[in-house]
Structure 1
């Protein structure tokens, strides 16, 4: 074959390869997965699904108020603020124990925070055994302490105190369990805004009250950061930058915001939401943002009710953050506790109305979760092992419940309600209705589910979760009549599973 023929064949081959490349390229593009990108404005962000499937199904999570604020272990989680208010019990305790505030400030507790017994794997194991589907920790509280390796905030757990990346250790342990990871941000309140007006120093809109005789007024370039005594614009930049550090470094699935987010300009909040959602989606991660009292749009985030909930079924999904403790979110000596029974009742009530619960625990300064709190969590976990099908991945029914105990209003910080065996909460999954009876009515007694007097559904079968024998029932005009077994099923709530035919 001649050299000319070889050259000709060579060019023909090149043309073939080039034509093949261009003919295949459109098909390759067609097979690519398109990831939405949201602009930093609420109209664009409104098209994001603020309640992804995992959150709708999870229903129950656990997190912890733990960090530098745990060290004093006195009064409650607002000790870091109240110790600076002359005349309070906290101030008296602080001065008697540690000396004048001019000599020992809140930042002087930092070397005492050692976290020597913190074990992220043990925390994650406990949360999983308690039935939680998501878990985490306060990333930064009002006190300005960061539980991660921050390059922005000098007051962080890697550079000071325990010299450990707490968020990194716990996030890895939580995600390794297949659970979703939660970080909560309470920093917005930390910004001091009344230092030039002595009549307003004590308003809690600013967490640390300005006092010229205490470290809260320090202009030291490091100390002033902890107490929020810095220019507003620098505070806003730090707020956004620290959120980006956590998003990029730890990939949280849910970011919870405490109150006073209205102190942050709207532009920074929009930039945060766009950054968090876009970066997470690029990793194939669907994330949740929460807010309180309308401080973020509902089209982008879920409303959270601190120690509260809705009093009716809602179309929107929402979150309640509750605590296992009484009187303080963080650990204090002689900490009061709720019972597992109370928490189970709250969980059932919340889920029946389209909400989810995030339960707080209060570890000791050392990082150990006290045994009495662990026992409560384990009891909840045992209940969910038996009755979890009425909670996880459930939806609401025609009514949320029935019974004599009434919740008059929706909102935060509601008065305690004590539920009875006559109070029932309903959930649904496929062709099953779950009646969660919030107490044991007695052996061999008749329970009447009055809500079935108004249903068109036909009941085909009844069973009780955790009980393997037949249950007698009869659907009458006044409701569904059920005979309880001759033995107690649970000293807390128990669940009647009702199969229906439409």
Structure 2
């Protein structure tokens, strides 16, 4: 094992001492010090709220999310549904079920055999990052997000801060670095995602608590193998040591790989255990955490500006990590009903983000999305100013389950015909129409009416009421050379679909060329509470 070198943090990230942390005032918007005062972000949330949406993100629309780590070896969760990447903690939370499961599969269970002992089987022996990058490009993705570290404490990168990393153990190669090189050769943007904010409670007696302690069998594993403390801990509370290590690990990712997006998971502690950080209520340890997050984001954004790199931030959770307007609004399986401020839905083909072996079965009894459902979800998200981040869960050997590849390729085939209505598109004055099950996007002077059910009857575009013949130049069906008939009446534009709907499937796009610009930026609902009202609640435990 290499010697572990603790990196020195930039001045902007240097923490206060423990006593000072206890004296921090709530809602502290003190300036973060920077050596270069010309940097665009001054360390306040107010400054960070001004970050623009990068063109690569706003235009790209489609991303691939990858959950991959030692949990992929297990590939199992009780009842064969839910987030399999949470199984490492479930082993210790539900020993009545998982200890016999480990015993039957590996011949032992904690404390003799625990999560750390599964890591040697995370080998990635069949992994080809160039093949992954080629696949992602072929299916129409414009950016990729892969777990650098999930809640389990395992680092998928070449880390000097923990021995539990992919170069020193398991695959014995830099997964984050090798994938980044392959993706950028194909012109794709890259965001190694960072989920360590929930690590303190992952192997602890209490989740989402400021102070906790390790479970008894975790402590016994550490007693028998002291190195295990760096995987399961080393801290089980949100103390200064944890926060400083959290920031240092991100800084290492930032410096080694220059991510195009800072993708952080949600921080349940912000609204748990007596905290409501955005409302100005926080225990000193959590105020210190929030101050360091603000400094970390500021450093990342200023570093991007200095490198002339258009970077962005993910604002995760039903209760957003950061104030509204700081980065991109996102949560699991998010589906707004209105046109909101820039947002993103990270979603799955099945019930799990990490590899779940049971989902490969043809007779899997739980929900797996059909190709049609995937494409409809993608179209509706884009029509409402969202980005579609679809997840895959590779196996421990580095191969992607075939049922997921099939759905990706079908998505790519649809985009190869209809991508004009998706990439670099913007929302219209309305996002959809019940009659005909339509979704709308626009680009310059074109409106795209995307029929999410096979259009066998004339389609009246209700939002065109008041248009005249001079407003419409032509109507085409993407992927078809057949003439499309249309007419203008007092009710608006009516499209008469041709009998030959081309070889596209699942959704059919009519391109309406008009005489004027069609993007209507003032229709966004900016009140995020109203935007999120009625959307699906995220289960932080990954139960589905």
Q: TM-score range by the shorter chain?
A: 0.7 to 0.9
The answer as to 2:240 corresponding to 1:236 is no
Aligned partners of 2:460, 2:213: CA distance in 1, in Å? 56
Instruction: Tell me if the contact between 1:424 and 1:435 (Cα under 8 Å) persists in the aligned partners.
Output: yes
Aligned partners of 2:450, 2:220: CA distance in 1, in Å? 50
Instruction: Tell me if the contact between 1:120 and 1:170 (Cα under 8 Å) persists in the aligned partners.
Output: yes
Aligned partners of 2:95, 2:447: CA distance in 1, in Å? 55
Q: 1:492 to 1:363 in 2, by over 3 A?
A: same
Uncovered stretches (5+) of structure 2, i.e. residues with no partner: 1-36, 78-83, 271-285, 517-544
Q: 1:203 to 1:271 in 2, by over 3 A?
A: closer
The answer as to 2:152 corresponding to 1:136 is no
The answer as to 2:461 corresponding to 1:473 is no
Q: Could you list the per-position Cα deviations for residues 339-374 of structure 1 after superposition, in whole angstroms to 9, with x for gaps in the alignment?
A: 222111111111111111111111111001122211
Instruction: Tell me if the contact between 2:65 and 2:346 (Cα under 8 Å) persists in the aligned partners.
Output: no
Q: 1:357 to 1:208 in 2, by over 3 A?
A: farther
Q: 1:209 to 1:124 in 2, by over 3 A?
A: farther
**What's the C-alpha RMSD, in Å, of the aligned pairs?**
2.4
Aligned partners of 2:507, 2:100: CA distance in 1, in Å? 44
Instruction: Tell me if the contact between 2:315 and 2:326 (Cα under 8 Å) persists in the aligned partners.
Output: no
The answer as to 2:315 corresponding to 1:307 is no
The answer as to 2:308 corresponding to 1:280 is no
Match of 2:524 in 1: none
Instruction: Give the aligned length.
Output: 442
SS in 1 for 2:217: coil
Match of 1:372 in 2: 403
Match of 1:394 in 2: 425
Uncovered stretches (5+) of structure 1, i.e. residues with no partner: 1-33, 196-200, 405-421
Match of 1:122 in 2: 131
Alignment of 1:30-41 (within 5 A): 36-41=39-44
Q: 1:217 to 1:298 in 2, by over 3 A?
A: farther
TM-score using structure 1 length: 0.83
CA-CA distance at 1:307 after TM superposition: 0.5
SS in 1 for 2:308: coil
Which of 443, 450, 455 is residue 441 of structure 1 equivalent to? 455
Match of 2:111 in 1: 102
RCO higher in structure (CA 8 A, sep ≥6): 2
TM-score using structure 2 length: 0.76
Q: 1:347 to 1:464 in 2, by over 3 A?
A: same
Alignment of 1:137-176 (within 5 A): 137-176=146-185
Alignment of 1:4-403 (within 5 A): 36-49=39-52, 51-75=53-77, 76-86=84-94, 89-98=97-106, 99-192=108-201, 201=205, 203=207, 210-215=214-219, 218=222, 221-230=226-235, 232-260=239-267, 262=269, 265-292=289-316, 293-314=319-340, 316-324=341-349, 326-335=350-359, 337-403=368-434
Aligned partners of 1:64, 1:194: CA distance in 2, in Å? 23
Aligned partners of 1:435, 1:88: CA distance in 2, in Å? 54
Q: 1:294 to 1:64 in 2, by over 3 A?
A: same
Deviates more, 1:424-433 or 1:71-80: 71-80
CA-CA distance at 1:238 after TM superposition: 1.3
Instruction: Tell me if the contact between 1:427 and 1:433 (Cα under 8 Å) persists in the aligned partners.
Output: yes
Q: Could you list the per-position Cα deviations for residues 236-288 of structure 1 after superposition, in whole angstroms to 9, with x for gaps in the alignment?
A: 11111111111111111012111226466112101211111111222110111
